[in-house]
Structure 1
C-alpha cells in the first residue's frame, strides 16, 4: 500500500532525494519548498502523486495554512518529515543578529510550528509518524556551529518531549540524525566576516578545513534517504536514528564524556538534597 508523506525543504539536498525516491516507488508526497518551480520536473513525471506547496517555515501563519491544505488535498498523511533547515557557519562573535534569528526561526521555531500544525490532523486520523531531521550536531558540538547547535539541541529536546505526549494517540516521533554528507548543505552555509582573533583557535581550524576541502563528508545521501524509508516501512519507532559513521562515533564519544562528568558530580549533587529526603532514601 502506498504511503503518503509531507516533507519540508524539498528543493535540494536530502529533502529532494527523499521525494524522488518515494515518488519512484509509488508513494504520494506533499512537498514544500521556498522556490516555486524547483520540483516542476518531478510534477511533470509523477502528476497528482506530488502535491507542491510554497512555504517558508519561518512564516507561522503560512505553516498552518499549507499543512491544512495538504491534509485537505490528500486526505491522509502518514509521515511528516521536518527537514527544512538553515545553517550559520561563524564563531559566536562573528554572526550577526539577523543570522542568529534566522537559524532559530527556521530550525527551532519553524520545526515546532510544523509539528503543532500537523498534530490535530494526525490525532484525528488516529495514526502517523513524525520524523524530525537534525544532525550529529543535535547531541554533540563543533566550533563555528554554536547557533546551529543551539537550534538543533533545542528541537531535539522539543521532539523528545513531544514523543511522550503523542504516543497515546498512536503517533510516533523519531529524531533522524544524518552526519556530514555531500548534499550541498555545506556550500549553502551562511558565513560572516572573519575576526582575526579567532584564526589561531579551534574555530579557525574548522574554518580552514571547510574552506580548504579537507572537512570529511563520509556519508552517502542516497543511502541515508534509503535508511529513512526502510525505517518507516519497518514500522519501528525509535526515538533517535543516527545515520553516518561520524554521527555514531561523535555522539557516542560525547555521551560517554558527559556521563563521566555527570557521575563525577554525584556527591555534590546529593549534598544539596533536603535532610528529610536523605533519610527517606536511606
Structure 2
C-alpha cells in the first residue's frame, strides 16, 4: 500500500535521499524545506507523487500548516520524518546566546512542533510512524558541539517519552542516531572552527583534527540510510525506540556507554549514601 510521507529538511543531504527513496518505493511525499527551489527538478519528474511546502520548522503555525497540506494533497499522513537540523562546532564559551538558541530552536523545537502537529491525524487514522533524525551525538559528548548535542540529547528523551504515550494509538516513534553521513553537514558545521582559540587546543584540538580528516570520508551512505528508513516504515515489527546507524555510531556510543557505566560503578557508594538511613561514605 502506498504511504504518505512528510519530510523536513528535504532539499538536500539525507532529507533529499529519503524523498527519493520514498518516491522510488511508490509512495507520496510532501517535501518541506526553507527553500524548496532545489526540489523543482524532482517535482517535475514526480508531479503525481510529490508536493513541496516552504517550511521553517521553528514556526509552530507553519508546522501545523505543513501537516494540513499533506492531508489536503494526499488524504492522510503515514510517516513523518523530522530531519531538518544543523550544527556548529565551536567552544561553548565562544557561542553567542543567539546562535545557541537558534540551534536548539531548529534541532529540538522543530521536532517538537512537527511531532505535535502530526499526532492528531495519526491518532484519527489509527496508524503512524514518526522518525526523528537525531545523531549518535544524542548519546555521547563531543567538545565543540554543546548546542547541537544538547538538542539531540533532548530529542532522544522527548521521543522516548512520547513514544510510550502513543503506544496504544498505533503510532510508533523511532529516534535514528546515525554517525557521520557523507553529506555537507560536516563541512558546514566546521566553518565556525577554523580559527580555534589557542587556549582551547588542549580540549578541542584532537577533535578538530578528527573532523578535518573525517569530512568527505564519512562512513554513512545517505542513499543506503534512506532505503533502510523506507524498509522500517513498512515493517510490521515494533520499531526500536532508538536505532544507531553506522559502524562509527556503534563504536563511539559503545565506548562512551562503557565509560559511563564504569564511572557509575566507581561512585556507587556515594550514590547509595544519599538514602535515608544509609551508611556514611568512607574515605577513599
Please give the TM-score of this superposition, normalised by the length of structure 2. Answer: 0.91
Q: Please give the per-residue CA displacement for 1:132-182, whole angstroms capped at 9, x wherever unaligned.
A: 110110101212111110010011110011111010111101011111011
SS state at 1:37 partner: helix
Aligned-pair distance for 1:36? 2.6
Alignment of 1:140-151 (within 5 A): 140-151=140-151
| Residue 46 of structure 2: aligned partner | 46
Instruction: Indicate yes or no: 2:272 matched with 1:274.
Output: no
Aligned-pair distance for 1:269? 2.3
Aligned residues: 276
Instruction: Indicate yes or no: 2:226 matched with 1:225.
Output: yes
Instruction: Indicate yes or no: 2:152 matched with 1:152.
Output: yes
Range with greater deviation from structure 2 (62-71 or 244-253): 62-71
Question: C-alpha distance in 1, partners of 2:268/2:143?
Answer: 29
Question: C-alpha distance in 1, partners of 2:14/2:177?
Answer: 12
Q: Please give the per-residue CA displacement for 1:43-92, whole angstroms capped at 9, x wherever unaligned.
A: 11111211211001111221112222222322111111010002111111
Aligned-pair distance for 1:231? 1.7
Alignment of 1:105-254 (within 5 A): 105-189=105-189, 191=192, 194=195, 196-211=197-212, 217-236=218-237, 237-254=239-256
Q: Please give the per-residue CA displacement for 1:225-269, whole angstroms capped at 9, x wherever unaligned.
A: 122122222233111111101111111111111122223333322
SS state at 1:142 partner: coil
Q: Which runs of 5+ in 2 are unaligned?
A: 279-284
Question: C-alpha distance in 2, partners of 1:50/1:184?
Answer: 24
| Residue 280 of structure 1: aligned partner | none
Flag the 1:115–1:214 CA change in 2: closer, same or farther, 3 A.
closer
SS state at 1:47 partner: coil
Question: C-alpha distance in 2, partners of 1:218/1:233?
Answer: 25
Question: C-alpha distance in 2, partners of 1:133/1:113?
Answer: 14
Question: C-alpha distance in 1, partners of 2:193/2:95?
Answer: 6
- Cα contact 2:182–2:216 (8 A) shared by 1: no
SS state at 2:118 partner: helix
Q: Please give the per-residue CA displacement for 1:82-126, whole angstroms capped at 9, x wherever unaligned.
A: 100021111111212221111000001111111011111111111
- Cα contact 1:94–1:192 (8 A) shared by 2: no
- Cα contact 1:30–1:50 (8 A) shared by 2: yes
Aligned-pair distance for 1:213? 5.6
Question: C-alpha distance in 2, partners of 1:200/1:193?
Answer: 12
The alignment's C-alpha RMSD in Å is: 1.9
Range with greater deviation from structure 2 (193-202 or 80-89): 193-202
SS state at 1:241 partner: strand
